[in-house]
Amino acid sequence: MSTSDPILGVLGTGRIGADHARTISTLSGIGGILVADAVPESAQKIAQELGATAVSPDEIFDKVDALVITTPTSTHAELIKKAVAKKIPTFTEKPIALDVPTTREVVDVVNDSDVLVQVGFMRRFNDGYANARKLLAEGAIGELRRGNVTMGDTPAPPESFIKFSGGINKDCLIHDADITRWVTGQRIEEVYEVGFSRGADYFSRWDDIDEGGGVWTLADDSIVTFQTTRNNGAGYDIRLELFGTKDTISVGFDTYMPITSAEPGFTFEQAGDRFQAFYPRFIPAYKKEIGHFVQAMKDGSPSVATVNDALEALYVCDAMDLSRKEHRPVKVDEIRQAK
């Protein structure tokens, strides 16, 4: 198989896997797409839609030049290790695993190899976040002092997803933890989180929450507040605000923002319908991250989102979980330094 015309495999054809397969089908320079799923009918359905080829999960490792892993999180670690052992460049959805020891094991395997592994932190490929990072680095807002993260998810996932998700922090806020570190260049050093289950009863049944908020303290003592929900009735709302000594900038403050002003006589101009789910909000970023992965595989450039980045974001998520359960601030080093 030609490295200039790679065969890409998508392992896992649920919601995100099917969408990634559709994205891959729009890219130039792809020699073909193979799809596989533990439920063969699922793979066959997306294969028929895209003109791809459906194979078994075991077969796919011997028939592709690169692999996209979008299976349930509990399977990511072993699949990544198997791909690395076979020298297959791999793109994997986050998180690598739901626990630190397993994630560290995968990090060691990947770092001891020369195989490209890219983690699906797609916000790093979003123009708004990239521009915020640039503006902050250039000093356009002065010295960063405060920030605010809005993570308004909708619709709420079903119980069948929640029970395997690892909770709202590892499913959703892990993106915000990663992108805050990437944009600001600062690690999150301390967290404090509160949260409650106020919607469907299955969230509390799986020790999860659907409403939360709190504070992150960055390494430079900047204070970042955050809020998260599974029930954002106005639409899918993802924003990052940065407050500096010279100016304030915001990612996601645009004509699709699902907000109604309470100021009399003022209305936000709407360019189109508000986003009602995560994938439409980030379609350009999803395309760019897969395109970057394919290009990195071809030219040998490093990953923009590494397994080390995934581990750092997981540390923050575990610290938030501990903070909420014990109702106290938690230093992220408490998680980083645990055996």
φ, ψ dihedrals at 226, nearest 5°: -145, 150
Task: Find tokens 């809005």 and name the residue.
Answer: 150
Q: In the chain, what's the furthest Cα-to-Cα distance?
A: 63
Task: Find tokens 């109702």 and name the residue.
Answer: 327
| Burial per residue of 254-279, b for 16 or more beta-carbon CB atoms within 10 angstroms, e otherwise | eebbbeeeeeeeeeeeeeeebbeebb
pLDDT along the chain (339 residues), means of 10: 76 93 90 96 97 97 97 96 98 97 98 97 98 98 98 94 94 98 98 96 96 98 98 96 98 91 89 86 93 92 96 98 98 93
pLDDT given at position 279: 84
Distance of CA 75 to the CA centre of its chain: 17
pLDDT given at position 29: 86
Q: What's the first-to-final CA gap in the chain, in angstroms?
A: 43
Beta strands in 85-222 (DSSP E): 90-92, 117-119, 144-152, 188-196, 211-218
* Edge-to-edge strand list for the sheet holding 188-196: 248-251, 237-244, 144-152, 223-229, 211-218, 188-196, 330-331
Residues 157 and 88: their CA atoms lie apart, in Å, by 32
Rg of the chain, C-alpha, whole Å: 20
Is there a contact between 35 and 71 (Cβ–Cβ < 8 Å)? no
pLDDT given at position 96: 97
pLDDT given at position 4: 67
Tell me, what amino acid is at 13?
Answer: T
Is there a contact between 8 and 25 (Cβ–Cβ < 8 Å)? no
pLDDT given at position 38: 95
Rounded to two decimals, the pTM is 0.94
